[in-house]
Homo-oligomer: A and B are copies of this chain.
Amino acid sequence: MTEPKAKPLRADAQRNRDQVLAAAARAFAKCGLEATLEGIAKDAGVGIGTLYRHFPTREALIEAAYRKELATVCEAAPELLDKLPPAEALRAWMDRFADYLHTKMGMADALRAIIAAGANPYDHSLELLVGAIEPLLAAGVASGELRSDISADDVLMSLSGVALAAGDRRDQAGRLLDLLLDGLRYRA
């Protein structure tokens, strides 16, 4: 999970990167999303330039800071698939995802940027999410509950769009996710 990557960083670079990430996690936990990048850099004991080299945008930093938690949400997918019929498992996972976004609204904007960017195939979080959705969707298609002409990408896009648009009105988000799932159910 501490990805080695193609290019191993120089020792000092790796150390600084970790310190920035730790400081960012602290700052976001304490101040929410409006934590200043300069403050994070100072707290990490590095210059602002160093922070920007490692994380070229605010979103990149947030994304990296929350990646581990996001992975946890994604890992719940297989478990749900064990316990529930595919369509229900998908719906339940959507709820987990929406809950997560709801508690970490800070992540919302970052996520929107990540997903909207779309084009970047190296983005880890995006893979993570698509990877979580794919088995759920495939199982639903196999069991005949879900239509087969929608990709995991599309589901993610709709899901995140709905979750982000609904913002903090969690009940409304729930209704919209029901609606989304209805659209996904197979019809002759």
Inter-subunit contact A157/B150 (CB<8 Å)? no
Inter-subunit contact A158/B180 (CB<8 Å)? yes
Stretch of A14-22, A53-61, A159-167 contacting B (4+ beta carbons < 8 Å): A159-167
CA distance A153 to B179 in the complex (A): 13
Q: How many residues belonging to A are interface residues under a CB distance threshold of 8 Å?
A: 28
Interface of A is mostly: helix
Q: Which residue of B115, B172, B183, B184 is within 8 Å of A165 (Cβ)?
A: B115
Shortest distance in angstroms between A30's beta carbon and chain B's nearest beta carbon?
24
Cβ contacts A to B, 11 pairs, < 8 Å: A118-B167, A118-B169, A150-B175, A154-B176, A158-B180, A161-B163, A161-B176, A180-B180, A181-B183, A183-B184, A187-B187
